[in-house]
Structure 1
Amino acid sequence: MSKLEESAAMLSFAAKFAKKMSSFYPLEVSNIDKLTPNSVAVSLQIPAEHREAFRFDAGQYITIRHKNGDSEIRRAYSISSAPRKEELTIGIKKVKGGTFSVYANEQLQTGDVLEVMPPEGRFVLKPDSKYKNVLAFAAGSGITPIMSILRTALQDRQDLNFVLVFGNQNREETMFYKDLQDLKEKYNDRFHLYHLFSRNQESDSLFGRIENSTVNYVLRNKHKSVDFDAAYLCGPLPMIDAVRDSLKANGMTEDRIFHELFTEPEAEASSETPLEGTTRLEVTLDDEIHQLEMDQKSLVLDVVLNAKIDAPYSCQGGVCSTCIARVTEGSAHMEKNQILTDSELQEGFILTCQAHPTSAVLKIDYDDV
């Protein structure tokens, strides 16, 4: 093997190993900012020895593991800061009845240490992007990954124009309101910001929710001469569906529209034959093979975790992509899928937290993703 081939092989192995790792790292809370009465921005210090593991593209998320009594919970939070080596920031909105979100807003303190999985996610602005005009629609806490994309785009690209439409109930509950106003003032020739408030009618803002008429207002009125290269949508599913349909009706192709859910969609009724029987499940993880038996009514990830196999996962609701694996033999049906594309489904990828086996044998590979 030549030196060049040897180097390429080492890089390939390193990349594969990095993808497989689902380890958690202790990160110290360096700062907590109160964004609204019900949300905080939490900054985490990244030690020098972990900085390579925590490199990220704008728009990605981290997973936090937290002990709640005798049980363990995992929560995914998008990074709101632009990529930096020393620190990253996430936005956490308090959810009524929530566990970690309430803890983060009411008890978490500077100096506390959180267990954090390295960044993941494909709702990103690539560093080598050639975009000239970017459009974004966010609702509520869906602004969090958009903030990272926005900050990165404006800082790194002097020739890029960014239009953001941001919906909330009122100004008081608007996450990152001051940050957005500061960015608007700093980049007033390249950043166009439209606030929508559904409960209060305020000056310098639109009234209502993000819907078809909002998209038409932006595309046909305010920016009718602009050809947008990409649109980023983040928020609840009804908003995403409405905006995506409107963008397509205005001529934007599907491959230029990117979205990420910030609420878990309702389970769709399955048109498949009711699942019954058992499946022999083979799981490949970190180059180890595990053999299991499972009921087809069970979810693959539940069975894997119950067998004490440390598979990667986070939301367990089909909203993130942490638990993705490739089917190498057999078949599976997912209850929900708002993340994987048609081409990824054709390649055999599944969200294991949503997947039921539909064959006598199912082989999945967490490493080959």
Structure 2
Amino acid sequence: MFSEWNNNQPLLLQCVDKWQETADTVSIKLVYPQSPDTPFNFKPGQFISLGLELNGKMEYRAYSISSMPGECFLKLTIKLVPDGLVSTYFVEQLVTGERLSALAPTGPFNHVDCVAKPKVLMLSAGCGITPVMSMAKTWLRDKAQVDMTFIHMAKTPEQTIYLEELELLDNQHSNFNLQLLLKDNRGTRHAQGRLDKDWLKSLCPDIAERTVYLCGPAQFMQDMAQFAEELGVAADDFFQESFTPTQAEALPDASGVVQFDVPAFGVAKKVAQGAILADVLEESGVPIIIACRSGMCGSCKCQVTKGEVIRTSTETLTEEEIAQGYTLACSSQIQSDVEVAL
């Protein structure tokens, strides 16, 4: 169960199934190896961070969960990233029976915390379909009174993740209205072209009356967020999840040198002012988990006991933790002499 993850410490999960979704995308099923019939509890839309050891180093990456809470497995869909060390392993080398380190499901993009109106619009492109698919399937399974318009963009039918499942849901449920847009729609009934504001309005005329959930590539999300605002969607009814890392960048005008100490691990060194805290911790050999690298998962939380950092994300931190000096290492820039505790 979800509570088995204590203080966000990793657990081992076992891969029991793996299959191709598209030419460069696979889906996998993970279970608790000691109790494979135990259900998983999470909020639909959340993600999980998986870790494996590559070249002598533990590497973690965050993947949205596309299965539903209450099922005895987690389903993840992983797309091959060019030159991506971890995604290449999962897509090309992972075998059933293998065990992977995992952190607890987390993430603010979910339909429990992001409360829906009676009508919703799911907007996704590419592998951004994974979290909104979990939301939609859970609503349908639980017979929630939610009217869903589901707009998804992909390149071709062959490159559309969950194509058959989407069409099945569309045929079986009157409250699930699929609008699939393909750049090349040969041999299908689905529309062709790029989604602009007028087309979005045409596909979802009552968008201003809906809660919008958005996930996909950066430019797609930027465009859809602008269109939604211009079409009258209130800020409180608009939620989005990005797969694009937005970790802190070194300060361009910082040229000083500061002292960096992690007493518990015997680290005492000089580093560049403005350096990203996560990078310095990794380079210093401090055993810290850095999974999403976008300030979302909270795996790299640590405490700055002395000195100052600039935070670009406080997503998983409480006001009390911030007051106590806690920060997310991937989203923090070192400003002065600092001392850090894990």
Pairs within 5 Å for 1:226-241: 227-228=209-210, 230-241=211-222
Shift of 1:19: 6.6
Relative to the length of structure 1, the TM-score reads: 0.77
Give the CA deviation at 1:91. Answer: 0.3
Q: Residue type matched to 1:231 in 2?
A: V
Q: Aligned equivalents of 2:89 and 2:224: distance in 1? A: 33
Gaps of 5+ in 2: none
Whether contact under 8 Å (2:249, 2:333) holds in the other structure is no
1:260 matched to 2:241? The reply is yes
Distance in 2 of aligned mates of 1:64 and 1:280? 29
Matching of residues 168-247 of structure 1 within 5 Å: 168-187=154-173, 189-200=174-185, 203-220=188-205, 223=206, 227-228=209-210, 230-247=211-228
- Does 2:158 correspond to 1:152? no
Q: Within 2, Cα distance between the matches of 1:131 and 1:22?
A: 35
Letter in 1 for 2:299: T
Q: CA deviation at 1:203?
A: 4.0
| Counterpart for residue 248 of structure 1 | 229
1:300 CA drift (Å): 0.8
Matching residue's letter, 1:305? E
Q: Give yes or no for the alignment of 1:119 onto 2:105.
A: yes
Query: C-alpha distance in 2, partners of 1:262/1:215?
Result: 22
Query: What SS does the corresponding residue of 1:118 show, helix, strand or coil?
Result: coil
Matched residue of 2:156: which SS? Answer: coil
- Kindly indicate whether the alpha-carbon contact (under 8 Å) linking 2:66 and 2:77 is maintained by their aligned counterparts in 1: yes
- Closer/same/farther in 2, CA of residues 281 and 213 from structure 1, 3 Å limit: farther
> Within 1, Cα distance between the matches of 2:238 and 2:301?
22
Q: Tell me the equivalent position of 1:10.
A: none
Report what 1:92 is aligned to: 78
Structure 1 CA distance for aligned equivalents of residues 266 and 233 of structure 2: 45
Pair 1:22-2:24 in alignment: no
Structure 1 residue 275: Cα displacement: 4.3
Q: Could you say if the C-alpha distance between residues 252 and 128 of structure 1 is closer, same or farther in structure 2, counting changes exceeding 3 Å?
A: closer
**Deviation of residue 88 (structure 1)?**
0.8
2:46–2:110 Cα contact (<8 Å) kept: yes
Structure 1 residues 314 and 269, CA, compared in 2 at 3 Å: closer, same or farther? closer
d(CA) in 1 for partners of 2:109, 2:134: 11
Question: 1:352 pairs with 290, 311, 329, which one?
Answer: 329
Give 2:332's aligned amino acid: A
CA apart distance, 1:231: 1.2
What percentage of aligned pairs have identical amino acids? 26
The answer to whether the aligner puts 1:104 opposite 2:90 as a matched pair is yes
Give the Cα separation in 2 of the matches to 1:266 and 1:64. Answer: 19
Q: CA deviation at 1:62?
A: 1.3
Q: How many residues align?
A: 338
Q: CA deviation at 1:160?
A: 0.9
Cα distance, 1:57 vs. partner? Answer: 0.9
Question: Which one-letter code corresponds to 2:151 in the other structure?
Answer: V
Structure 1 residues 20-59: aligned runs within 5 Å: 20-23=7-10, 25-47=11-33, 55-59=41-45
Deviations, residues 169-219 of structure 1 (Å, cap 9, x unaligned): 1110011111111211221x1001111112445643222233433432233
Give the aligned residue type for 1:236: P
Compute the displacement of 1:308 (Å): 4.0
How has the CA–CA distance of structure 1 residues 31 and 71 changed in structure 2, closer, same or farther, with 3 Å as cutoff? same
User: Which residue is equivalent to 1:71?
Assistant: 57
TM-aligned CA deviation for residue 86 of structure 1:
1.8
Other structure's SS at 2:89 match: helix
Q: CA separation of 1:196/1:300 partners in 2, compared to 1, >3 Å: closer, same or farther?
A: same
CA distance in 2, matches of 1:299, 1:316: 11
- Deviations along 1:314-335, one digit per CA (max 9) or x if unpaired, are 133557553355767654335x
SS at match of 1:109: coil
Cα-to-partner distance string for 1:77-124 (whole Å, 9 max, x where unaligned)? 111001125211000112222223222222322222222222121111
Aligned match of 1:6: none
> Secondary structure at 2:330's aligned position in 1?
coil
TM-score normalised per structure 2:
0.83
Matches of 1:21 and 1:340, distance apart in 2: 16
Counterpart contact for 1:120–1:322, Cα < 8 Å: no
1:135 aligned counterpart, secondary structure: strand
Residue 363 and residue 266 in structure 1: after superposition, are their counterparts in 2 closer, same or farther (change >3 A)? closer
